[in-house]
Amino acid sequence: MKFLKLTKRKIIGLVTVILLVILIVYVAGPKIPQPPDSVQDVTELDAYLETLVNKGSPPGLSMVIIKNDSIVYSKGFGWADGPLKIKATPQTVYHWWSITKIPTAIAILQLQEQGKLQLDDAVSRYLPFFEVEYPSDKETTITIRHLLNHSSGIPDASGLKLVKWIHHDGDPALDQTALIEKIFPDYSTLEFEPGEDTAYTNIGYMLLGAIIEKASAQDYRDYIRQNILEPLEMTQTDFVYTPEMKSVEAAGSHPSLSFMSPLLHLMMGSFIRETSNNRIWMERVYTDQEAPSALIGSVMDASLLIRAYLNKGTLDGHRILSEKSIELMTNDSHVAEANDEGLFFFRRGLGWHIFKEKSGYKLEHTGGGPGFFTIMQIYPDDNLGLVMFCNDVTLEKYGWKILQLGANLNWQ
């Protein structure tokens, strides 16, 4: 009985300590000024963004807005690297993280235009190692289209696993096809019958990267560089930090007082550069899984991709997609979640997440990973596009609302 009482005391003490830590983190942690319902003009938009970075969450951000093929807004706020006193500008480079999936989807459609694959081809046609375990006796063939709109039933990797799939600056990049072939057996049991639901999965886009390599007979990175980045003159975007990026490089960061901070120290301690002013600043981080998450670049370069998309696939005489392919990405293969109750319109399409606004569809993709949050939106019917990159993850909840402030202004 004595041991039992002592154990109970320890449990009560442990719970008390945990609750106290939670309270301290909540009180001392950064408070994000919530976006207003609207802003009247650019001055009010600037004032809100200045308030955000002055509060330190995020320490820095860059935003660009495109209307009718013109950049109508491009600004940076706060610090790209606080300790090194590098200010955020529109030229600052950030990790794109999952927005990389849009160039990956574009690459697949390019290969379809070249006759090297078809969206309804079986994945197993290109990847002999691709074998899955079905949840029913239907055994629907998984196609490239299923991977693009996340309707394959293939599960995603856990956040902890994704954090492990990173490497340091200077470490060699991994063979993308060999990587997915090695890990895929752990994700080969489907969560639902293909085409009957949609659930976000990075594993599906790792498979797409391997398909790009097979169909093009090129390394994934080289294919994206030669067929998307170079034609659009996205000179400040790559899969590695180039020498030209150094002076405009954003350092990933994280609040030192948060629930995630202990985990960051535990799992990514070697990537922590320093801690100052209640903020963890990180070394360069590279992800092993490139097709879903690996690009690094500026909002200005991202604006070139948006301009090409809004121009039906072409920019300054360089075509990266046909009008038909742009139409497919915008309007085709939208899949709703199986439990969709119709409270608001949300679908997953070929690369994009699809929402419905008064003027038509809003295409969106976000990215989030160690030290960075990114968001890109396109309103095709309004010839409008917006991008915001930040050097921490604290705006994940409000990113879409912040871009909506800019989208609702009267751009000429």
The average confidence (pLDDT) of the chain is 92
pLDDT per position as a tens digit, 366-391: 999 999 999 999 999 999 999 999 99
Q: Quick one: pLDDT band at residue 2, thresholds 50, 70, 90?
A: very low
Residue predicted with more confidence, 344 or 156: 156
Name the DSSP letter for residue 88: P
What pLDDT is recorded for position 24?
47
CA distance linking residue 78 with residue 89, whole number of Å: 9
Task: List, edge to edge, every strand of the sheet that includes 253-255.
Answer: 253-255, 279-282, 272-276
In the chain the domains, ranked by start, together with CATH numbers, are: 41-407 (3.40.710.10)
C-alpha 293/C-alpha 369 separation (Å) is: 9
- The whole-angstrom separation of Cα 363 and Cα 301 is 18
Output the pLDDT for position 21: 47
* Residue partners of 23: CB distance under 8 A and separation at least 6: none
CA 41 to centroid of chain Cα atoms: 28
Residue 154 has pLDDT above 80, yes or no: yes
Report how far residue 318's alpha carbon sits from residue 303's, in angstroms, rounded to the nearest whole number. 15
pLDDT band at 298 (very low <50, low <70, confident <90, very high): very high
pTM: 0.92
Residue 195 near residue 146 (C-beta atoms within 8 A): yes
Specify the residue for token string 């742009």.
Answer: 326
Under the banding of pLDDT at 50, 70 and 90, the label for residue 16 is low
Residue 265 in this model has a pLDDT that exceeds 80: yes
pLDDT in tens, 20-43: 444 444 444 567 899 999 999 999
pLDDT of residue 395 exceeding 70: yes
Buried b / exposed e over 330-342, threshold 16 CB at 10 Å, is beebbbeeeeeee
pLDDT tens profile 303-348: 999 999 999 999 999 999 999 999 999 999 999 999 887 778 999 9
Q: Is 262 exposed, middle or buried, given 0-12, 13-18 or 19+ CB atoms closer than 10 A?
A: exposed
User: For the residues 51-64, what does the mean pLDDT come to?
Assistant: 96
